[in-house]
Amino acid sequence: MSSSKAVMTPDDDEVVDAELVDDGELAPTAPMPAGRPLVDQHTVLRPGQALPTEADQGPRYTDRDLYVSEKTAAALKESSGDESPPRKTAMRLFEAWCAKHGRVAKPCTTATFTEYGQHLMDRNLKVSTIRNYMSLIRTSMPAGKQPDNSLYLQLLAAYRRKNKRASRRKQAFPITMPYLVPMMLKAEEDGRAIGIRDAAMFAFGYRFLGRSIEDVDLDIEDIKVLDDRIVVWLVADKTHKTEEQTITLHDRPDLNLVPRMRRWLAHLAAQGVTTGPLFRHLLKNGKLAPRTRATNREDYLRGHVVNERVKHWFAAAGLVTNGQPVTSHGLRAGGATDLAQAEATDQELEEAGRWAKGSPIPRRDYVRPVKDAKHDPFSKIPVYAPERTAPS
């Protein structure tokens, strides 16, 4: 038996191109569906199977399938507003700029996103600052509606070439042990509660190698104080967003982390506080700040307060820097720098600071500067020692 395929040519109206096949080889054809077919290049049908249509797809939903409860709606609203302070700041500034220029902020168009990037460059901001703000804005957009950032990155590359100073990264001054110990002793000098809190917070921040917001987000229930160490349960951090961790912080004689934390916890317990935020706002008399003065973080200490306390006790201890800014990040930088000076391995640094495996940050920001400071290739040159080497 044969089947025929019609092939049109310029010379003939129709030419039959015969092709021999065995009997029974042809599959029966299914009737064309009445509705709109739903097929793509991955659709596979068996012989006799009808083309799927819109009418065949999915269950029939009712109102009950589409609505969430009031409790769930309230929880969703609360979770959507649970954004980091930097993200809120970036979006607040972006929304204000969009309102001023008659543009839609969320979701924004690629043109608006690119124009705002140029606006930040016109303000002569640092490259790192611009990248941070633009990243926060882009990731704040609804899923699937993020603007294309290729044009903005093109502008940023040109901006970096023309503004070399804008690319300079200003590192926080590393508060290493020789700076940390005097700060803690000064804070504890007069025995006030705020000094007890700050000394415990500084010791913990240095040893925990955490970001300031990670330190002040902890609850009392998240730590277990033993005789020679503190065990910390961390539900998530910047690198491990969905992976909980149990971290052991061994104490040492110069840090005195355990006794300092115990003094602070004892102060809280004396005021009836044994659960909830670990580091809290205090009044000048040492009492806990009342809820009437609470912020959107409620009883949790705000990140900028840690920054202010670090600056305060650094200056009070009579310490000076080489021009680098003193910030709360200096506690994390100090611990990492001390590890680098002690020639800790890359893996030890990554694990201590909970950086992602292979992250360039520990080597770039801490190991390399320490090695560069120690290494002087000119030391290989023999010292020239005539009778006089300098002008009189």
- pLDDT tier for residue 45 given thresholds of 50, 70 and 90: confident
Q: What is the mean pLDDT of residues 232-247?
A: 73
Query: What is the predicted pLDDT for the residue at 369?
Result: 74
- Percent of residues in the chain assigned helix, strand, coil, to nearest 5: 45, 10, 45
Give percent of the chain with pLDDT exceeding 90. 41
DSSP structure string for 45-62: --TTPPPPBGGGSS----
- Examine the pLDDT at 85 and tell me if it is beyond 80: no
All residues at 6 or more sequence positions from 149 whose CB lies less than 8 Å from its CB, including other chains: 113, 134, 138
Q: Between residues 360 and 13, which one has the greater pLDDT?
A: 360
Q: What is the mean pLDDT of residues 250-271?
A: 95
- Examine the pLDDT at 3 and tell me if it is beyond 60: no
Q: What is the mean pLDDT of residues 320-325?
A: 85
Query: What is the predicted pLDDT for the residue at 355?
Result: 78
Q: What is the pLDDT of residues 333-356, one digit of tens each?
A: 899 889 888 888 888 888 888 877
Query: What is the predicted pLDDT for the residue at 345?
Result: 84
Instruction: Please give the CATH superfamily to which domain 83-167 belongs.
Output: Tyrosine recombinase, N-terminal domain (1.10.150.130)
Q: What is the pLDDT of residues 102-142, one digit of tens each?
A: 999 999 999 999 999 999 999 988 888 899 999 999 999 98
Ranges of each domain in the chain: 83-167, 177-290+299-374
Q: Are 181 and 146 in contact (CB under 8 A)?
A: no
Query: What is the predicted pLDDT for the residue at 10?
Result: 46
Class of domain 177-290+299-374: mainly alpha
- How far apart, in Å, do the first and last CA atoms of the chain sit? 115
- Examine the pLDDT at 28 and tell me if it is beyond 70: no
Exposed e or buried b for every residue in 354-392, given b needs 16+ CB within 10 A?
Answer: bbeeeeeebbebbbeebeeeeeeeeeeeeeeeeeeeeee
Q: What is the mean pLDDT of the chain?
A: 82
Q: What is the pLDDT of residues 350-373, one digit of tens each?
A: 888 887 787 777 777 777 677 777
All residues at 6 or more sequence positions from 43 whose CB lies less than 8 Å from its CB, including other chains: 52
Query: What is the predicted pLDDT for the residue at 300?
Result: 86
Q: What is the mean pLDDT of residues 181-186?
A: 96
Query: What is the predicted pLDDT for the residue at 362?
Result: 74
Query: What is the predicted pLDDT for the residue at 294?
Result: 46
Residue 147's CB is within 10 A of a number of other CB atoms, namely 21
- Examine the pLDDT at 239 and tell me if it is beyond 80: no
